[in-house]
Structure 1
Amino acid sequence: METRAPRQRVGRAERERQILDAAVAVFSERGYQNASMDAVAKQVGVTKPVLYSHFGSKEGLLLACITQTRTQLLEVTSVAAAAADGPEDMLRRGTKAFFDFLDVQRPAWALLCSESAISAATCSALEEIRRQQTDFIAGMLAVQVPDADPHRLIGWANVIVGACERLAVWRGRDPRLTGEQATEYLMDLVWTGLAPRRP
């Protein structure tokens, strides 16, 4: 008689990561409204009650996906900026890291673009990503223009975040546009515009 190898237990953190990766894939492929918890559970290889025990609800799972994306985005842009050898390189590397992240995490980006109006909680979570990146960019700009009014720095950062989002949407429609090109287009305006103010 053949004996079946015992199933290995997966730790809670690893299981949640598996669920989130599966949920991002299912949500981005089917859209939030058409995606089911059954489909996510099947992809992970667990029962639906396991999903509810970890995230409480379908919307809770979506919010967790958005939170994971926010954390990952800040990490990759921070690492890129930290490797820079000057203010211009810092902004360039941070911007390029944003576009590279969208290429690698295309399903997550598709999810964020398509699910902005599900609920107030979802809208708030998405706006938190913008606030996070705005604060991060304002910090980088402060290095370039140390005497600038902090309120002006936040204004500039909002302009950059908005421009990056629109460039990302454009890239989604036109795959010929590379991350390098999008970064250069942003730098053409931002770095040139800051030139009279840089020390």
Structure 2
Amino acid sequence: MNAATPRRRRMSRAERERQMLEVAEAVFAERGFRAASMDEIAERCGVSKPMLYEYFGSKDGLLLACVARSQAELHEVTQKAIAGATTPRDILWRGMVAYLSFVDSHSRSFTMLVDEPLSSPPETAAAIEDIRRQQSGLISGVLATFAADAPPAVVEAYTEIIIGGAERLSLWRTRRPEVPVEEAARYITDFCWSGLRPYLDEAVTGDPVTGGGEERPAPR
């Protein structure tokens, strides 16, 4: 007597949604938003196209759901990364390593969204800006804590410098993947540190990133 074929476990709605988003992100990255089709995404997921529309409403809605998921994941990994830091320089470096590592794992979709904004629906630009504002809130909060005497304009300006610099550095690394994440994070940390240091109390200007006299890698 043959053993009964085990029944495949049915995915929960949350599991199915996660699968759809992962597949959709891959297809958008491979094809670009305009060329990506709901038919291909549904086929790769093993579901019907009507089910995709039931979950997300439209292809625009599916892309925006992908962006929203990335926003939540980025916020979580960044917060976890800076939680163990005790000085502003270490917080900045850890946050940059987390950000650059996250972009590495989503590099093709990140490039599509940031470098080709006109190919995506108009709402995507607002969603990307929400991610920037989310990260700005984390950064400005840290700066305000460790540089309490810095004028608000200084905190705002350096927050924008860090956000913009991190984004451009991430795009640069998609063309220079041989540059390690840690090295790229050190570039932006060093750059911002020279400007921020006058506003920081001497008691919090330790340098755990370089370990005091650690030799820095030569530029590539």
How far off its partner does 1:106 sit? 2.5
Rounded to whole Å, the distance in 1 between the matches of 2:54 and 2:152 is 43
1:184 matched residue in structure 2: 186
Matches for 1:158-177 after TM superposition, within 5 Å: 158-177=160-179
User: Closer, same or farther in 2 for the Cα pair 1:114/1:57, shift >3 Å?
Assistant: farther
Secondary structure at the residue paired with 1:76? helix
Contact 2:107/2:174 (<8 A) preserved:
no
How far off its partner does 1:103 sit? 1.5
1:40 matched residue in structure 2: 41
Structure 1 unmatched runs, 5+: none
Q: Which moved more, 1:102-111 or 1:23-32?
A: 102-111
1:131 matched residue in structure 2: 133
RMSD: 1.7
Query: Which amino acid in structure 2 is aligned with residue 127 of structure 1?
Result: E
* Higher helix fraction (1 or 2): 1
Query: Which amino acid in structure 2 is aligned with residue 9 of structure 1?
Result: R
Secondary structure at the residue paired with 1:136? helix
Contact 2:25/2:109 (<8 A) preserved:
yes
Query: Which amino acid in structure 1 is aligned with residue 114 of structure 2?
Result: C
Contact 1:74/1:132 (<8 A) preserved:
yes
Contact 2:29/2:109 (<8 A) preserved:
yes
Rounded to whole Å, the distance in 2 between the matches of 1:150 and 1:108 is 34
Rounded to whole Å, the distance in 2 between the matches of 1:97 and 1:187 is 13
Deviations along 1:125-172, one digit per CA (max 9) or x if unpaired, are 111111111111111111221122334312211110100111111111
Contact 2:136/2:159 (<8 A) preserved:
yes
Matches for 1:22-171 after TM superposition, within 5 Å: 22-117=23-118, 118-171=120-173
How far off its partner does 1:115 sit? 4.6
Structure 1 length as normaliser, TM-score? 0.93
Higher Rg of the two aligned structures = 2
Contact 1:88/1:191 (<8 A) preserved:
yes
* Count of residues paired in the alignment: 199
Structure 2 unmatched runs, 5+: 202-220
Query: Which amino acid in structure 1 is aligned with residue 72 of structure 2?
Result: T
